């Protein structure tokens, strides 16, 4: 059989909308037969997936998985809430999480290129798009490897997820602390762990806004500076996890709660890092009424 040329691959790609490597593999398997290659792509759900490539995936799941000392928090998206709640989509998301822990990629792009035993994660996702009839996309993930232990919390079936990394032994005291802080983080949604993590440019911007706000109230510049210092303290309290008032007892901060746990169990308890994802956060959801959708479908049929 003659070698598959780049021109052949491009022709099939234009015909089906599938990826370059998928087209090349299909043509190779079909021994250059375009019709059979297109059928192969359809059989695997890849051609169908390509047709949905422009769809907005604003629904989905945030999912957590811990295996030993490694944990992952991942957001996988689809097009509808109905599909997101289905067992099949949960299975897809769980499979993706397992591949992340197995391969430990650093980015979504690296994850999509990982081998699943004869096919890439990207091909797997395209195939599942064909199976469920909606576009599936892996949006983001966080991978933690710890010397201590990890705690996760998933809110309301996957609408939000939290993962915490503790550098200390896992015992009755630290496990209770971890559970409480996972719930706390889900409720307060801090941006940083400590005040030292706040970027200088973010802090300067906040100070400038606060200063202008105070000056607009007619306060003298000297007094305004003191007021801004107080407001910055409030900013840290609201946005830095260790500085926040504990949601179950606002008389103590999270830092003080951890210090108490250290005292109770006799070893240093350290919260190293955290991450939380809110499903669909920042994605523009496309809304169309039924008549608009039907009109678009009819127009598409005329082409």
Query: What is the per-residue pLDDT across 43-75, written as a single tens digit (0 to 9) for each?
Result: 666 665 555 555 656 799 999 999 999 999 999
pLDDT interval class at 8 (50, 70, 90): confident
Q: What is the DSSP pairing of strand 149-155 with strand 249-253?
A: unpaired
Q: b vs e for 69-86, b when ≥16 Cβ sit within 10 Å of the residue's Cβ?
A: ebbbbbbbbbbbeebbee
The answer on pLDDT for 38 being more than 90 is no
CATH: 3.40.50.300, 3.30.479.20, 3.40.50.620, 3.30.2310.20. Which one for 53-145?
Answer: 3.30.479.20
The answer on pLDDT for 301 being more than 70 is no
Of the segments 15-24, 31-40, 221-230, 256-265, which one has the largest average pLDDT value?
256-265
pLDDT number for residue 290 = 43
Find where tokens 């370059």 sit: 20
Of the segments 128-142, 159-173, 202-216, which one has the largest average pLDDT value?
159-173
pTM here?
0.76
**Concatenated DSSP letters of 105-159:** -SSHHHHHT-BSSSSBHHHHHHHHHHHHSS--EEEEEEEEE-SSEEEEEEETTTT
pLDDT number for residue 63 = 98
pLDDT interval class at 245 (50, 70, 90): very high
Query: CATH class for domain 6-51?
Result: mainly alpha
Q: Where are the domains of the chain?
A: 6-51, 53-145
274-290 average pLDDT score: 75
Q: Chain-wide mean pLDDT for the chain?
A: 88
The answer on pLDDT for 107 being more than 70 is yes
């Amino acid at each position: 059989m003659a070698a598959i040329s780049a021109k052949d691959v491009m022709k099939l790609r234009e015909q089906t909308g599938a990826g370059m490597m998928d087209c090349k593999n299909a043509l190779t398997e079909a021994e250059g037969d375009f019709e059979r290659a297109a059928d192969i792509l359809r059989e695997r759900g890849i051609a169908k997936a390509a047709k949905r490539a422009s769809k907005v995936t604003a629904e989905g799941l945030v999912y957590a998985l811990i295996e030993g000392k490694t944990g992952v928090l991942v957001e996988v998206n689809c097009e509808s809430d109905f599909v997101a709640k289905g067992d099949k989509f949960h299975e897809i998301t769980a499979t993706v999480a397992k591949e992340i822990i197995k391969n430990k990629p650093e980015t979504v792009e690296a994850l999509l290129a990982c081998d699943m035993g004869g096919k890439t994660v990207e091909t797997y996702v395209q195939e599942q798009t064909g199976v469920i009839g909606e576009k599936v996309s892996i949006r983001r993930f966080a991978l933690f490897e710890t010397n201590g232990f990890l705690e996760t919390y998933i809110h309301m079936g996957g609408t939000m997820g939290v993962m915490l990394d503790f550098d200390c032994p896992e015992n009755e005291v630290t496990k209770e602390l971890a559970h409480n802080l996972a719930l706390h983080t889900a409720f307060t949604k801090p941006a940083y762990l400590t005040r030292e993590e706040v970027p200088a440019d973010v802090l300067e911007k906040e100070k400038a806004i606060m200063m202008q706000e105070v000056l607009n109230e007619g306060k003298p510049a000297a007094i305004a500076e003191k007021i801004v210092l107080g407001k910055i303290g409030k900013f840290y309290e609201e946005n830095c996890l260790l500085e926040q008032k504990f949601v179950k007892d606002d008389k103590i901060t999270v830092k003080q709660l951890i210090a108490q746990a250290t005292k109770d169990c006799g070893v240093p308890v350290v919260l190293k890092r955290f991450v939380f994802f809110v499903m669909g956060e920042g994605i523009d959801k496309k809304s169309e009424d039924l008549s608009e959708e039907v009109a678009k479908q009819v127009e598409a049929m005329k082409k």
